[in-house]
Structures are given as C-alpha cells and as structure tokens.
C-alpha cells in the first residue's frame, strides 16, 4: 500500500482520505444518508460511478461510509481496493435481506456469523475444497451485545449470499432446512476478501422483506428507516 496506488480505477480518493474502518451499504444513497445523519464534518471522497463515499468523525472517532453496489462482483471490487490500496482494516456491511425464517420479521436484525453462497467467487483462490466465509468474532460479539442493550429483535447465524435476485427456479427450502436465516447478495465476497487480506469484516442486516409471507418494504424505507443496524455498526468503531 502506498500513495502511488491511489486513486484506483474505481475510487477517486487519495491514500489517507479513507478511515481504517468503513461502514458500507449497497445503495450509495444510504451511505450518503448515514454520513449526513451521523458524521461530524463529513467530506465526500468518492463520486466515481456514483458510488458515494464520505469520511468524518463519530463521537471523536474517524470513520468512512461508502456504497458498494449490488452483488458479489461489485462489493468484491470495492472491498478489495479498500483493503489492499487504502489501508482499511475493518469493513462493516449494513444491508437489507429477505427472511426465510419464521421468527424473523420485517425490521428485525440479522448478524451474519457466516455466509453460504451459490457463487463461484471462491474459485479464484484455487482451493482443494469449499471455503466457509465467516465474520469477525469480536465484532460479532460486540454487535450482539449492542443489540441486546438496545432491546432489538435479532438473530445470529448463517445467511446465504446469492448471485441471483430473479431466479428461474427459486428453491429456498433447502437453505431453510439447513437453518439459514436470510438471503442477501454480498456478504460471502466481503468475508472472503477480508480473510484473504488478513483484515476484519461483519455483515449486519435488516429484514426488508419476508420471502415466506410476501411482506416487503419500499426503496425509500430501506434507504432512510433502517437506523437500528446503522447504530449497531457505529458502536463497533
């Protein structure tokens, strides 16, 4: 890592303009909302491809917030550059997920202990078997304690990171039978990038829709009302 590697092809910041801890959201407008709501003196460090990023302070601690887009190729690209070129040590994803658990309802939180996937993202590592992407244990424990102190409804466990939002032949029963809590699209790649770079990551999700019941939230609600997971994430910096 050095200043000569930045800006990167996808992030317009110079080395040093991004904090060692980055809270990321799929929607760049959610990153903008978080920065404006929680950060003191936020400064925009990236507008390349509309993937907004900001650095400021929260309770005296420096932190950055940035979008990562949809799907594992997108979050994989941005988190690789953050870990490898900007000296980032911790990335926390705050995102939405579809519940496939009968006791997880709209607005409840999921702390992703591990991430199953239908993606071939791990093929690049040329492993002799299957890799199990897991979150950072210390971050996970602290997030669970914060959820308890806030009186939130939450569960800790596996999610499934899918490459497909619109699936030709949807079949969630198999994942449900294995105790998987929710479906999302990015955390497995985040955890693999963290593992390969020797850094830390955690996924904190809010249930935005329930695949079993058909309940769902709007895009505006997902952008501006899922503040519990944001406050849990900020407690970890």
CA–CA separation, 26 and 138 (whole Å): 24
| Encoded tokens for 198 | 């020797």
Q: Is 123 designated active site?
A: no
| Encoded tokens for 139 | 């971050």
Q: Cβ(52)–Cβ(31) under 8 Å?
A: yes
Q: Look at residues 7, 2, 37 and name the one whose alpha carbon lies nearest to residue 227.
A: 37
Beta bridge pairs of residue 183: 98, 160
Cβ partners under 8 Å of residue 125, min gap 6: 131, 192, 196
**From 27, 108, 136, 209, the catalytic residue:** 209
CA–CA separation, 43 and 217 (whole Å): 30
Residue ranges with strand state E in 4-148: 21-25, 40-46, 53-58, 61-67, 90-99, 109-117
Cβ partners under 8 Å of residue 191, min gap 6: 114, 115, 133, 134, 135, 201, 203
Beta bridge pairs of residue 50: none
Question: How big is the chain, counted in residues?
Answer: 237
Q: Determine which helix (DSSP H) or strand (DSSP E) holds 79, and give its type and residue range.
A: helix 72-85
Q: Among all residues, which ones are annotated catalytic?
A: 209
């Amino acid at each position: 890592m050095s200043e000569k590697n930045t800006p990167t092809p996808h992030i317009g910041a110079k080395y040093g303009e991004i904090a060692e801890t980055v809270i990321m959201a799929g929607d760049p407008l959610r990153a903008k909302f978080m920065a404006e709501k929680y950060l003191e003196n936020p400064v925009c460090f990236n507008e390349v491809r509309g993937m907004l990023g900001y650095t400021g302070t929260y309770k005296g601690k420096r932190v950055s917030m940035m979008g990562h887009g949809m799907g594992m190729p997108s979050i994989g690209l941005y988190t690789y550059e953050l870990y490898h070129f900007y000296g980032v040590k911790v990335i926390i994803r705050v995102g939405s997920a579809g519940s496939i658990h009968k006791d997880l309802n709209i607005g409840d939180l999921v702390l992703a202990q591990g991430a199953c996937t239908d993606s071939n993202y791990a093929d690049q590592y040329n492993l002799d078997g299957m890799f199990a992407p897991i979150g950072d244990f210390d971050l996970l424990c602290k997030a669970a304690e914060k959820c308890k102190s806030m009186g939130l409804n939450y569960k800790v466990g596996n999610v499934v990171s899918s490459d497909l939002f619109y699936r030709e032949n949807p079949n969630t029963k198999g994942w449900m039978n294995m105790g998987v809590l929710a479906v999302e699209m990015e955390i497995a790649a985040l955890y693999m990038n963290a593992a390969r770079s020797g850094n830390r990551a955690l996924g904190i999700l809010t249930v935005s829709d329930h695949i079993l019941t058909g309940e769902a939230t709007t895009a505006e609600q997902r952008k501006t009302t899922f503040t519990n997971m944001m406050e849990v994430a900020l407690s970890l910096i």
